[in-house]
Amino acid sequence: MNQYKPPYSITSKMVNLISAISEELTRIEFNENKIITPKLRKINRIKTLVGTLEIEGNFLGEEKITAILEGKRVLGTLLEVTEVEGAIKAYKSLEKYSFTSIEHLLEAHHHLMNGVLKSAGKFRTVNVGVGNHIAPPCYKVDGLMMQLFEWLQNTDEHPLIASSVFHFEFEFIHPFADGNGRIGRLWQSVILYNWKKVFNVLPTESIVRDRQQKYYDALGKAGNLGESTPFLEFMLEAIFETVQQQTRNANQESNQESNQESNQEKIVNLIYSNNRITIKELSHKANLSESGVKKIIKKLKEQGKLQRTGALKGGHWTLYSTSSGSI
């Protein structure tokens, strides 16, 4: 029986945050098809990649990372591009990793750091220090990681707590020569995904990036205290902000879609009333910009609901229903 137990305390703040996070996740799961749209999946994956890379000093940004995801060439150093490609590959396999497998952790590190680090996918063989923190000697890394994974596999703690404890203990052990922060954040997402599938698209790393100094402060405070409690509170706050933001984004997108439908209906009604109405007149009567009107007209044409006959001057519009001819 594994007797190892990482030191930490459960506080009232943690209990309240776990409850709040669970409530938000229930809302997301209940409306998953509306909230986790393909568009938001792509946006959030890019935010995740940008967040975890920027914490480590890679600032290629959303536009270039999107281009790399689409297979395009971008302007950047070889190291920057290689780091992005590694992060894309590591996160692409997030759903395939077993959260209790050291072998999968090593595989993820190899995906992430291949081309950046000669020892990618292997635990460090040298002693290291990070700021004021002196990591355990390299000869202890294998044993410490085995203990940590055994605890993770057998713990009865709530996954929100267990994943945050793992994250801190992993950073404390600092098992790799480089890439520990990126892997620690990735593996917390892997653990949480095993609990709730929605975590494969929640960009917690982006929220951590926005609170980067607090992230480091929490790691340092926990290290000085000798237990991970301050870091657990920080991570639970970051996760809560992530799920709240997801709900807000979904509501905003829903409102935008509703507004677009309303504006489209305005244009259709105006054209139905006067099939010779001009773009300028549509813009004025619908209280929309001319470019906005043109976008709606383009969409109506693509949907097969609208056709223009004749020139801009002297021509006319023809509206079509979805089930019959012109109306």
Judge whether residue 76 has pLDDT over 60.
yes
For residue 9, the model assigns a pLDDT of 97
CB 13 within 8 A of CB 235: no
- Are residue 122 and residue 245 in the same domain, yes or no? yes
| Average pLDDT of every residue of the chain | 91
Judge whether residue 242 has pLDDT over 80.
yes
- Are residue 173 and residue 299 in the same domain, yes or no? no
Judge whether residue 1 has pLDDT over 80.
no
The residues near 256 (Cβ < 8 Å, ≥ 6 apart) are none
Query: What is d(CA 234, CA 217) in angstroms, rounded to the nearest whole number?
Result: 10
For residue 254, the model assigns a pLDDT of 57
What CATH number is associated with residue 242?
1.10.3290.10
For residue 232, the model assigns a pLDDT of 98
- Are residue 242 and residue 291 in the same domain, yes or no? no
Task: Output the CA angle 282-287-290, nearest 5 degrees.
Answer: 55
Where a domain ends, among 222, 252, 282? 252
Asked if the structure places residue 135 within a domain, the reply is: yes
- Are residue 238 and residue 297 in the same domain, yes or no? no
Number of domains in the chain: 2
Which among 183, 238, 182 is positioned nearest to 57, based on CA atoms?
A: 182
pLDDT tens-digit map of 106-161: 999 999 999 999 999 999 999 999 888 899 999 999 999 999 999 999 999 999 99
Structure tokens that stand for 58 in this block: 């890679």
Q: What is the mean pLDDT of residues 270-292?
A: 87
For residue 170, the model assigns a pLDDT of 98
For residue 253, the model assigns a pLDDT of 61
Asked if the structure places residue 6 within a domain, the reply is: no
Q: Which of 42-51, 100-109, 263-272 has the highest mean pLDDT?
A: 100-109
pTM: 0.79
Asked if the structure places residue 7 within a domain, the reply is: no
Q: What is the mean pLDDT of residues 300-308?
A: 89
**Pick from 197-211, 245-259, 309-323: least confident:** 245-259
Asked if the structure places residue 268 within a domain, the reply is: no
Asked if the structure places residue 310 within a domain, the reply is: yes
Calculate helix-pair angle for 61-69, 78-92, nearest 10 degrees: 60
Q: What is the mean pLDDT of residues 245-257?
A: 69
- Are residue 57 and residue 104 in the same domain, yes or no? yes
- Are residue 311 and residue 162 in the same domain, yes or no? no
Query: What is d(CA 58, CA 82) in angstroms, rounded to the nearest whole number?
Result: 11
Asked if the structure places residue 4 within a domain, the reply is: no
Q: What is the mean pLDDT of residues 288-312?
A: 87
Query: What is d(CA 270, CA 291) in angstroms, rounded to the nearest whole number?
Result: 17
CB 131 within 8 A of CB 124: no
SS (H, E, C) the chain: CCCCCCCCCCCHHHHHHHHHHHHHHHHHHHCHHHHCCHHHHHHHHHHHHHHHHHHCCCCCHHHHHHHHHCCCCCCCCHHHHHHHHHHHHHHHCHHHCCCCCHHHHHHHHHHHHCCCCCCCCCCCCCCCEECCEECCCHHHHHHHHHHHHHHHHHCCCCHHHHHHHHHHHHHHHCCCCCCHHHHHHHHHHHHHHHHCHHHHCCCHHHHHHHCHHHHHHHHHHHHHHCCCHHHHHHHHHHHHHHHHHHHHHHHHHHHHHHHHHHHHHHHHHHHHHCCCCCHHHHHHHHCCCHHHHHHHHHHHHHCCCEEEECCCCCCEEEEECCCCCEC
- CA-CA distances (angstroms) from residue 190 to 92, 153, 184, 219? 11, 13, 10, 20
For residue 27, the model assigns a pLDDT of 86
For residue 248, the model assigns a pLDDT of 79
CB 137 within 8 A of CB 174: no
- Are residue 247 and residue 314 in the same domain, yes or no? no
The amino acid occupying position 34 is K
Asked if the structure places residue 51 within a domain, the reply is: yes
Structure tokens that stand for 21 in this block: 């996070």
CB 99 within 8 A of CB 83: no
- Are residue 283 and residue 247 in the same domain, yes or no? no
Calculate helix-pair angle for 212-225, 229-273, nearest 10 degrees: 160
**Pick from 26-40, 114-128, 234-248: least confident:** 26-40
User: Which structural domain range is residue 209 located in?
Assistant: 12-252
Confidence of residue 292 (pLDDT cuts 50, 70, 90): confident
Confidence of residue 29 (pLDDT cuts 50, 70, 90): confident
- Are residue 156 and residue 279 in the same domain, yes or no? no
- Are residue 78 and residue 113 in the same domain, yes or no? yes
Where a domain ends, among 199, 219, 252? 252
- Are residue 239 and residue 155 in the same domain, yes or no? yes
- Are residue 158 and residue 89 in the same domain, yes or no? yes
For residue 134, the model assigns a pLDDT of 93
pLDDT tens-digit map of 37-63: 787 788 899 999 999 999 999 999 999
Asked if the structure places residue 2 within a domain, the reply is: no
Judge whether residue 279 has pLDDT over 90.
no
